[in-house]
Amino acid sequence: MTITQSYLESWTEARTRFTNLLKDIKEADLKKKLVNTKNSAGFLLRHVGDVELLFAKNVFGGLDVDVHAKTVIAQQDTGEWTNLADLLEYQQYAFDQLKAIFEKQTDEDWNQSITTKEFGTKTKAEAIGRIISHTAYHAGQLSLTIKYGV
């Protein structure tokens, strides 16, 4: 197994914390927020997709990736993330784009350093850890929001 295949398998498995929530989410859940928090379940779904697409484009070199990171730009929940079909399609697009760009990485590429304003200079290997932890972090928020949000 190549290093690329190992990273791809690790990322895909880690992302199940997020994807396992998607099969049971209802459109009514999208407006839910936890008490004293600002982000709805719909915002969290969109945000995970936005950040995955930003990683595909800006960190891993997917120059043809189409991304409009509205949640990152707005830096707050605008209340517009209420269409479940659109959000599920968007997160699938993000998964597909990031997976495709991961598959193009050579084993040597994982040692390449990338600098971004968000998290400084990291190797691509470190960056995959960052996207794994980002998605898992928001998966936890999403789970709690769906279960306990109002």
pLDDT digits (tens, 9 = 90+) for 71-93: 999 999 999 999 999 999 999 99
Residue 81 lies in a domain: yes
Which residues, including other chains, have CB under 8 Å from residue 17's CB and lie 6 or more apart? 135, 136, 139, 140
Residue 15 within any structural domain of the chain: yes
Calculate the alpha carbon distances from 113 to 4, 62, 124, 126, 138 in Å. Answer: 16, 16, 6, 9, 26
Report the mean per-residue pLDDT for the chain: 95
Please tell me the total count of domains within the chain: 1
- Alpha carbon 137 to its chain's center: 10
Own/partner pairs, 89-94, CB within 8 angstroms, 24+ separation: 90/45, 90/46, 90/49, 91/18, 91/22, 91/45, 91/46, 91/48, 91/49, 91/52, 93/49, 93/53, 94/48, 94/49, 94/50, 94/52, 94/53, 94/56
Residue 119 binned pLDDT confidence (cut-offs 50, 70, 90) = confident
Classify residue 112: in a domain, yes or no: yes
Q: Tell me whether residue 59 is in a domain.
A: yes
Residue 124 lies in a domain: no
pLDDT over 90 for what percent of the chain? Answer: 95
Residue 77 lies in a domain: yes
The stretches of the chain forming alpha helices (DSSP H) are 3-22, 41-54, 70-74, 84-103, 124-148
Residues of the domain holding 78:
3-118+129-148
pLDDT (average), residues 20-24: 96
CATH code for the domain of 40: 1.20.120.450
Whether 123 is covered by a domain: the verdict is: no
Q: Which residue type sits at 39?
A: N
d(CA 57, CA 34): 31
Mean pLDDT value across residues 95-115: 96
Residue type, 43: F
Within-domain flag for 51: yes
pTM given for the model: 0.95
Find, among 30, 14, 16, the residue nearest to 146 by Cα.
30
pLDDT value at 116 more than 90: no
